[in-house]
Amino acid sequence: MLEQWYTGVVTKIVNETHNTRRFWIRVPEKATFDFKPGQFITLDLPIHEKKNKRWRSYSIASHPNGSNEIELVIVLLEGGAGSTYLFTEIKEGSELLLQGPLGKFTLPDQMEKDLFLICTGTGIAPFRSMIHHLKLHDIPHPNIYLISGSRKEGDLLYKSEMMQLQQEMPGFQYIPTLSREEDTSWAGRKGYVHAVYEELLADKRPAHFYLCGWKAMIDEARQRIQAMGYDRHDVHLELYG
């Protein structure tokens, strides 16, 4: 079955960090844009003659709220045709061709094991959707650890929002981890995300892993998680780039 394409209208754009933007897109053809937290949409951008070179997929950063508007958070990639087009050509009121929701990167039906949500950069988008969804609907959940890797504190996405959620949601822990922060005032974790989950799981308790971000991080995390003795079926991933 061919997926249907919709025309979305950009209702709002906000600069989040020096190289990331939040885009709100409304889909007037739908009364509500229904999706499962963790799913993505695909945009068809006028950047190439060939279809498969025009398509760019982005995780939905907002949670299902009964409206026909969704939020994306997008990083400007150096030399990236898709993100360059979105950053230079798209304004509030612009139209975008999109299809979705797509993808199976969604929460488990049985939430019995602790959840480790491990991301870099804009890979936090699907996890933000999941966490808000769990809180909004008071869904019982095990311990959830959101381990978010960035280079510097200024690169962290949704930081104050995640710190607020940590205070309001029992069992949810937000662990931002910085690989290149030189400012001595940073009191949080330094280094890479891998050391964090390895330390937390020294007891090898049952866990589900969700990985979202750049390929290098995901490849390394998969190897390390399996080396710790976890089954590959415990690991779910969404690759960027």
- CA distance linking residue 147 with residue 196, whole number of Å: 8
pTM, entire model = 0.96
CATH number of the domain located at residue range(s) 114-240 in this protein: 3.40.50.80
CA distance 23 to 147: 24
Question: Could you tell me the two tokens for 165?
Answer: 């959620």
Looking only at Cα atoms, what is the longest distance across the chain? 55
Euclidean distance between CA atoms 238 and 127, whole angstroms: 11
pLDDT of 239: 83
Burial of 84 (0-12, 13-18, 19+ CB in 10 A): middle
pLDDT of residue 76: 97
pLDDT at position 7, please? Answer: 98
- Which residues of the chain register pLDDT less than 70? 1-2, 241
Identical fold between 5-102 and 114-240: no
Q: What are the domain boundaries of the chain?
A: 5-102, 114-240
- Per-residue pLDDT at 201: 97
Res 24: pLDDT: 98
pLDDT, residue 1, reads 54
Cβ atoms 172, 158 nearer than 8 A: no
What is the predicted pLDDT for the residue at 51?
86
The three-state secondary structure class of 137 is coil
Nearest 5°: phi and psi at 113? Answer: -95, 155
The CATH architecture of the domain made up of 5-102 is: Beta Barrel (2.40)
